[in-house]
């Protein structure tokens, strides 16, 4: 299939209206390498929006930039949340506005019981689910887990599931889920999608970051990230098709074609 130049596929973003999260022309450099190269994205309040992209295309970098983690301050561009410019705000300020990133469990929770952690999470947000139900939804029997401590005796997969339960308990305004299936043992993709649906029904807008197109089944809309740019936003089926055509045999991860087209002018 003949492909239009990526440059012409860009700019598929919608101007701000009832958008919860708007990213405008975001550039971000890490250790001298330009990783985000003009990201434009608009996420509507209430939607599950999938960001689809192959490995190494800048998905996690984008997630960290939205959360405002140290070292991820953009070189250019703006991030707006509920109409407010948050580009210069700290992680804590962003968290207070209702943005949560999984996986980013702060070290300060270490040593708390899972019950305490989930209760704190619930109080920090707008959650109405019982913490027991949150645990059960991520496949952890509450009676076995509520009184366990958050420490290194939990497996990586258990920690991730506890963190997913905490997002459910909190019901933040925006949840950024970075590869929610990675390292989660036991739970199937369908289980995780059900958790995401529950989260969304509880009023959380979800930014679902993944390289797996199967996740598009749970999303309302999707965007395709390649080479640090959103090349397409739209209906999931359309974006998945584009991702499959364009990325399955991609030879330019981190060296996007658009650089070439720009050079050629
Ligand atoms: P993804 O999550 O889509 O797999 P990342 O956002 O983790 O991609 O990384 C995007 C690109 O940036 C990759 O090529 C990665 O190697 C590079 N990268 C990530 N962190 C750094 C860093 N601290 N310094 C330099 N390059 C980095
Ligand atoms: Mg990643």
Q: Which residue has the CA at smallest separation from atom 10 of ligand 1?
A: 58
With bands split at pLDDT 50, 70 and 90, how would you rate the model's confidence at 114?
A: very high
pLDDT at 250: 59
Report percent pLDDT > 70 for the chain: 85
Atom of ligand 1 nearest to the CA of 64: 6
Exposed (0-12), middle (13-18) or buried (19+): which is 109, by Cβ within 10 Å?
middle
CA angle centred on 198, ends 117 and 189, rounded to 5°: 95
Q: From the CA of 71, how far away is ligand 2's center (Å)?
A: 16
pLDDT at 156: 85
Q: Give the ranges where the chain is alpha helix by DSSP (H).
A: 6-9, 59-67, 91-97, 114-124, 131-137, 142-145, 156-170, 189-201, 236-247, 257-264
Residue closest to 206 by CA, chosen among 168, 157, 163, 161: 168
Rounded to a whole number of angstroms, the distance between the first and last alpha carbons of the chain is 23
Q: From the CA of 56, how far away is ligand 1's center (Å)?
A: 6
Q: From the CA of 192, how far away is ligand 2's center (Å)?
A: 18
Contact residues of ligand 1, CB 6 A cut-off: 30-31, 33, 35, 53, 55-61, 254
**Cα-flanking dihedrals φ and ψ of residue 212, to 5°?**
-100, 115
Q: Which residue has the CA at smallest separation from atom 20 of ligand 1?
A: 30
Ligand 1 test: best mutation among 33, 74, 181, 228, most atoms within 8 Å of CB? 33
pLDDT at 17: 47
State the ligand closest to the CA atom of 256. Answer: 1
The residue with tokens 């598929």 is 12
| pLDDT(18) > 70 | yes
| pLDDT(13) > 60 | no
pLDDT digits (tens, 9 = 90+) for 151-167: 878 888 899 999 999 99
Exposed (0-12), middle (13-18) or buried (19+): which is 91, by Cβ within 10 Å?
middle
CA angle centred on 24, ends 167 and 46, rounded to 5°: 35
Domains in the chain, start-ordered, CATH in brackets?
Answer: 17-98+173-183+204-265 (3.40.50.300), 107-172 (no CATH)
How far is 138 from 115, CA to CA, in rounded Å? 15
- Average pLDDT of the chain to the nearest whole number: 86
185, 159 in Cβ contact below 8 A? no
Backbone torsion region of residue 228, taken as left when φ is above 0, otherwise alpha when ψ lies between -120 and 50, otherwise beta: left
**Cα-flanking dihedrals φ and ψ of residue 167, to 5°?**
-65, -40
State the ligand closest to the CA atom of 58. Answer: 1
pLDDT digits (tens, 9 = 90+) for 36-78: 999 999 999 999 999 999 999 999 999 999 999 999 999 999 9
Q: From the CA of 55, how far away is ligand 2's center (Å)?
A: 7
pLDDT at 249: 54
For residue 126, the SS3 value is coil
Atom of ligand 1 nearest to the CA of 179: 2
Q: Which residue has the CA at smallest separation from atom 23 of ligand 1?
A: 30
For range 197-225, the mean pLDDT: 95
Atom of ligand 1 nearest to the CA of 254: 14
Q: From the CA of 209, how far away is ligand 2's center (Å)?
A: 8
With bands split at pLDDT 50, 70 and 90, how would you rate the model's confidence at 251?
A: low
For range 140-146, the mean pLDDT: 96
């Amino acid at each position: 299939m003949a492909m239009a130049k990526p440059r012409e596929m860009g700019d598929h973003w919608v101007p701000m209206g009832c958008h919860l999260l708007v990213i405008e022309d975001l550039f971000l450099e890490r250790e001298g390498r330009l990783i985000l190269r003009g990201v434009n994205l608009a996420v509507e309040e209430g939607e599950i929006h999938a960001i689809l992209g192959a490995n190494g295309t800048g998905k996690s970098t984008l997630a960290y930039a939205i959360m405002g983690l140290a070292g991820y301050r953009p070189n250019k561009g703006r991030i707006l949340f509920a109409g407010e410019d948050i580009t210069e705000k700290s992680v804590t300020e962003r968290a207070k506005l209702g943005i949560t990133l999984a996986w980013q469990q702060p070290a300060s929770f270490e040593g708390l019981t899972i019950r305490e952690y989930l209760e704190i999470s619930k109080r920090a947000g707008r959650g109405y689910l019982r913490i027991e139900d949150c645990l059960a939804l991520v496949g952890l029997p509450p009676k076995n887990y509520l009184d366990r401590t958050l420490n290194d005796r939990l497996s990586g997969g258990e920690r991730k599931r506890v963190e997913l339960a905490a997002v459910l308990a909190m019901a933040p305004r925006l949840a950024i889920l970075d590869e929610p299936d990675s390292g989660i043992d036991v739970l199937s993709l369908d289980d995780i999608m059900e958790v995401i649906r529950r989260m969304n029904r509880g009023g959380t807008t979800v930014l679902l970051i993944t390289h797996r197109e199967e996740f598009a089944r749970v999303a309302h809309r999707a965007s395709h990230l390649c080479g640090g740019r959103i090349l397409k936003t739209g209906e999931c089926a359309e974006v998945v098709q584009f991702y499959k055509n364009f990325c399955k045999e991609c030879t330019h991860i981190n060296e996007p074609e658009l650089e070439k087209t720009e050079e050629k002018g």
